[in-house]
Amino acid sequence: MSIQVGDKSPDFTLSDQNGQPVTLSALWKQGPVVLFFYPKDFTAGCTAEVCEFRDQYTDFKDAGATVLGISSQGVDSKKAFAEKHHLPFQLVADEGGKVREQFGVKGSLFGLIEGRETYVIDSQGIVRHVFNSQVQPGKHVKEALVVLQQLKRAA
């Protein structure tokens, strides 16, 4: 079952690109979190997506949000990917796809490609927005920023 708007976000602890543990609930207690699942490090669409998040990172920080990327490759792949593209945010390794499964992120092309979904989670751990598009990686950033602005105005 997929996580929907209004649901409590599953919590997890995974290792980031530096091998350090990252706990989702610790992040949302500091403010909203933009959690984006992407299919694979170093692929064209995923590179475009992480670079778009990187290029808009100041807007996310201004909105008080933490950006966190997640895919199934290991810590070493995350480290190389983050370093190559000078990413200012953490990437976490969901080896085995257990967190992807908890969120219900579906693959595409008969499950051959892991799904691309973005969640905006508020400071209470409630999912406020879900966006799913395999072919519009840049739109994940735009959608998340709109929702963060709405949350900021409502606060």
Q: At what angle do helices 137-154 and 44-55 cross, to 10 degrees?
A: 30
The residue annotated as part of the active site, out of 46, 63, 75, 91, is 46
Whose CA is closest to 121, among 100, 97, 96, 103?
Answer: 103
Does the CA dihedral 142-143-144-146 come out positive or negative? positive
Cβ neighbours for 141, distance < 8 A, ≥ 6 positions apart: 49, 52, 53, 56
Tell me whether residue 51 is one of the annotated catalytic residues. no
Could you give the 3-state DSSP secondary structure of residue 130?
A: strand
**Catalytically annotated residues:** 46
